[in-house]
């Protein structure tokens, strides 16, 4: 029995040996295929080798590597894990399993695998490099840099480690140090396209756009099919304002990689800047089609929908971004802006609070919160929010300007006017660009014997309101050049003390010593509520024009009421569209006055209100007591002449309301809930215009209570008019 047994054992050992030898040969063939990149043939050989030798750990390991290279990280991790069970002390096995786990986004486990590889072989530079990548993805940038530093200490010419070290430094905000790392990588490998591209990103962060562009271009010269470099170059060109050229590079990136979601998203941003909103939206939608979880694209899509005035859709887009990234502070803040435009102030406040909860140093969210609290008339809390925003970004003019509005509406003119001067640095105002070489005058020096250029700013109503200061300037001994908007030229010819009146942008014939923006005059004069110049009227109608209107209007048997229900639409200032919509009253709502025993005269100018009135006048106001002379009101001198023949003007917050007030005519101003700073807070009169009466919304968007009160007061006004006529 024993020999037979012995004979069988020998044959078994021999067969096993032959299979192992065959497995080694198959493994060798697989390795040869693997080394020349023929992954399918390599994998087939490794699998055959494993059939003959299931415990061939090298075959298990490299079969796992081919799976990883073919983008099957789960299978890779399993196969390499089996190799480690057989041979636990091979550092390459642990390092490659770390790469598979990294691809599966199991980052902590990946780091642990790299740790084990490094523990086995402390000078394993590639494992240290890979560990740095995983730590960076965990946002552990300092630890990541430490790993890269160890890899570089082992392998000083490790260009990739220098480059990725730069990436981690950028994430820490250490841009200058990052540039040093990129330059070292490029010095080691002058053909390192990725290093040139990343260097461009760092230079862009430093606003060194020209140098960034050249770095990107070098990356593209080295790798013409480098889609990321084209896209990044496009983004820097967009930062430089070269949007059309930026789009050509996004197009090139997309031509290289048709599924490059980020390039579509960036292209959408450039198209948005060019105000090609429909095309921008289409690009964001394409980015989202490619990557349904692309939360930045949903956020940017919301921004474009706001520009398109599709506010409800914008909020849905922000909500989607937030659902994908619950800690997306920017999306919460942007949602708040859209909610404000819809008049949803309380909801907006919740959005800003959430943004700040996520990022306590989010200065813009604190500022937006302050604006919303101002709209809600919670001024003390608003100022606290502005103070926090300013503390974080003390040189950002918009924050100071918004704070000034809260101070002014609260009646704190002393602090308010000083802060209001920051508007001169806010880009939405033309004052942000210095037009004059002469110094600005803000009241600090005498004007005796000097010539000053006063130049209009912002809206027509602002010019009318602050034109009252020309009399004070003239009394100070100055000659005045007054630059104004063309529609006001003829009206303002009568201003006291003005030596030369010119349209905006014209060159004055008189030389001048100093200049002052019109709305800086209250600050220059130290104006507080009690010292507002109230010498009314300071604007009057031309006598001849007034007499002409008197003749046209005929017998004066009923009160004559002028009406304005809509402010002018400014297509180039989308930031004002929401405010305009909130201050306007629907035509049907103003027509509720039609049954009062008075004659009504439209003082309405501008589209879309004039066009709507032309189309719907007879259906909305069929009574014969409504008169429209819009075509005859060529400029404000015509409007003033008509107002001169009226008994009362009822207007929303527009330039016509200011004109009536400046003429000393009774004017009832219908004010939205979040009214302009100049009307102060919760008063029914105005220190700027003693003949004005204010009617304020009690809640956002609701004109019902306002119009009911106006109807009651107007009925009483008419009764008093008729009584006075009988007694006359």
Residue 214, strand partner residues:
none
Q: What is residue 424's DSSP assignment?
A: G
Determine contact, residues 131/114, Cβ cutoff 8 Å.
yes
How far from 361 is each of 57, 364, 370, 373, 397, CA to CA, in Å?
A: 53, 9, 15, 19, 18
DSSP state of 440: B
Give the model's pLDDT for residue 650.
97
Q: How far does the chain reach from its first CA to its final CA, in angstroms?
A: 147
Q: Name the more confident of 578 and 347.
A: 347
Q: Are residues 108 and 170 in the same domain?
A: yes
Give the span between the Cα atoms of 219 and 231, in whole angstroms.
12
Domain that holds residue 638: 554-727
Task: Tell me the CATH number at 114.
Answer: 1.25.40.10
What pLDDT was estimated at residue 369?
97
CA 35, CA 23: separation in Å to the nearest integer? 18
Could you give the 3-state DSSP secondary structure of residue 272?
helix
- Same domain membership, residue 441 and residue 423: no
Q: Is the same domain home to 108 and 41?
A: yes
- Other CB atoms within a 10 A radius of the CB of residue 224 amount to 12
Q: Give per-residue pLDDT as tens, 644-663.
A: 999 999 999 999 999 999 99
What are the pLDDT digits (tens) for 18-74?
A: 777 887 888 888 888 888 989 899 889 888 888 888 888 888 899 988 988 999 999
Give the whole-angstrom CA distance, residue 133 versus residue 131. 5
440 and 422 together in one domain = no
| Residues 239, 146 share a domain | yes
Residue 294 has pLDDT above 50, yes or no: yes
- What does pTM read for this prediction? 0.81
Range ranked top by mean pLDDT from 167-176, 425-434, 571-580 = 167-176
Does 652 lie in the same domain as 518? no
Per-residue model confidence (pLDDT) at position 429:
72
Same domain, 151 and 96: yes
673 compared with 421, residue with greater pLDDT = 421
- One domain, residues 570 and 525: no
Mean pLDDT of the chain: 91
680: left (phi over 0), alpha (psi -120 to 50) or beta: left
Measured from the Cβ of residue 59, the count of other Cβ atoms closer than 10 Å reads 27
- Number of structural domains (the chain) is 4
- Does the structure show a pLDDT above 80 at 1? no
CA 35-41-42 angle, 5° bins: 45
Do residues 384 and 483 both lie within one domain?
no
pLDDT class of 724 with cuts at 50, 70, 90:
confident
The answer as to whether 293 is a domain residue is: no
* Closest C-alpha to 495, from 521, 513, 472: 472
With b for 16 or more beta-carbon neighbours within 10 A and e for fewer, the 112-141 pattern comes to bbbebbbebbeebbbbbbbbbbbbbeeebb
Name, in order, each residue with C-beta under 8 angstroms of 7's C-beta and a sequence gap of 6 or more: none
Asked if 578 and 608 sit in the same domain, the reply is yes
Query: In percent, how much of the chain has pLDDT > 90?
Result: 77
Tens of pLDDT, residues 603-657: 998 888 888 888 888 899 999 999 999 889 999 999 999 999 999 999 999 999 9
User: Cα–Cα distance between 237 and 239 in angstroms, integer?
Assistant: 5
Over the range 523-547, which residues count as b (16 or more CB within 10 Å of their CB) and which as e? bbbebeeeebbeebbbbebbeebbe
422/472 same-domain check: no
Q: What pLDDT is stored for residue 204 in this prediction?
A: 95
């Amino acid at each position: 029995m024993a020999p037979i047994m012995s004979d069988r054992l020998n044959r078994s050992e021999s067969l096993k040996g032959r299979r192992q030898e065959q497995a080694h040969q198959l493994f060798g063939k697989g390795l040869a295929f693997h080394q020349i990149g023929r992954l399918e043939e390599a994998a087939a050989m490794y699998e055959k080798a494993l059939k003959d030798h299931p415990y061939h750990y090298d075959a298990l390991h490299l079969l796992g590597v081919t799976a990883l290279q073919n983008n099957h990280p789960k299978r890779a991790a399993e196969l390499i894990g089996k190799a480690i069970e057989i041979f636990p002390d091979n550092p390459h096995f642990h390092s490659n399993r770390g790469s598979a786990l990294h691809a599966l986004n199991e980052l902590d486990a990946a780091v642990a695998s790299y740790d084990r590889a490094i523990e086995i072989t402390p000078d394993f530079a590639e494992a240290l490099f890979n560990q740095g990548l995983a730590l960076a993805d965990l946002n552990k940038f300092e630890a990541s840099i430490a790993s890269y530093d160890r890899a570089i200490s082992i392998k000083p010419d490790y260009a990739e480690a220098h480059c990725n070290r730069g990436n981690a430094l950028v994430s820490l905000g250490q841009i200058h140090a990052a540039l040093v790392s990129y330059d070292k990588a490029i010095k080691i490998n002058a053909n390192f396209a990725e290093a040139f591209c990343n260097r461009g990103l760092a230079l862009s962060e430093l606003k060194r756009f020209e140098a960034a562009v050249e770095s990107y271009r070098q990356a593209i010269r080295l790798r013409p099919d480098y889609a990321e470099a084209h896209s990044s170059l496009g983004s820097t060109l967009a930062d430089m304002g070269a949007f059309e050229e930026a789009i050509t590079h996004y197009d090139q990136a997309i031509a290289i990689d048709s599924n490059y979601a980020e390039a579509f998203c960036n292209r959408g941003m450039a198209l948005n800047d060019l105000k090609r909103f429909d095309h921008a939206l289409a690009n964001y939608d394409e980015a989202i089609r490619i990557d349904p979880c692309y939360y930045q694209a949903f956020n940017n899509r919301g921004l474009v929908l706001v520009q398109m005035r599709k506010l409800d859709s914008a909020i849905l887009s922000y909500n989607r971004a937030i659902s994908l990234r619950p800690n997306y502070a920017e999306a919460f803040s942007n949602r708040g802006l859209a909610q404000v435009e819809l008049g949803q102030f309380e909801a907006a406040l919740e959005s800003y609070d959430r943004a700040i909860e996520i990022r306590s140093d989010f200065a813009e969210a604190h500022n937006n919160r302050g604006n919303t609290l101002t709209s809600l008339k919670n001024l003390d809390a608003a100022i606290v929010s502005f103070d926090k925003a300013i503390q974080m970004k003390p040189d950002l003019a918009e924050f100071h300007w918004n704070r000034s509005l809260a101070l002014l509406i609260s009646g704190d003119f002393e602090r308010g006017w000083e802060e209001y001067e920051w508007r001169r640095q806010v880009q939405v105002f033309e004052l942000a660009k210095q037009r004059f070489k002469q110094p600005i005058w803000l009241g600090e020096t005498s004007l005796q014997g000097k010539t000053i250029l006063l130049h209009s700013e912002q809206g027509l109503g602002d010019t009318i309101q602050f034109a009252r200061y020309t009399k004070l300037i003239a009394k100070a001994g100055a000659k005045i050049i007054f630059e104004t908007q063309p529609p006001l030229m003829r009206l303002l010819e009568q201003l006291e003390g003005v030596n030369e009146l010119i349209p905006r942008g014209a060159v004055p014939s008189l030389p001048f010593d100093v200049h002052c923006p019109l709305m800086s005059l209250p600050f220059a004069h130290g104006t507080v509520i009690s010292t507002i110049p109230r010498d009314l009227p300071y604007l009057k109608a031309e006598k001849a024009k007034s007499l002409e209107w008197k003749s046209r209007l005929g017998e004066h048997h009923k009160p004559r009421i002028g009406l304005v229900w809509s402010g002018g639409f400014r297509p180039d200032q989308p930031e004002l569209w929401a405010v305009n919509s909130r201050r306007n009253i629907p035509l049907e709502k103003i027509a509720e006055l039609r049954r009062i025993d008075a004659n009504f005269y439209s003082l309405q100018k501008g589209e879309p209100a004039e066009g709507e009135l032309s189309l719907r006048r007879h259906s909305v106001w069929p009574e014969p007591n409504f008169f429209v002379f819009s075509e005859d009101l060529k400029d404000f001198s015509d409007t003033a002449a008509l107002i001169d023949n009226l008994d009362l003007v009822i207007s929303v917050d527009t330039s016509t309301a200011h004109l009536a007030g400046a003429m000393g005519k009774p004017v009832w101003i219908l004010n939205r809930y979040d009214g302009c700073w100049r009307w102060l807070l919760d008063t029914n009169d105005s220190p700027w215009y003693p003949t004005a009466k204010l009617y304020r919304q009690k809640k956002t968007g609701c004109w019902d209570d306002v119009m009911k009160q106006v109807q009651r007061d107007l009925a009483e006004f008419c009764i008093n008019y008729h009584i006075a006529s009988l007694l006359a």
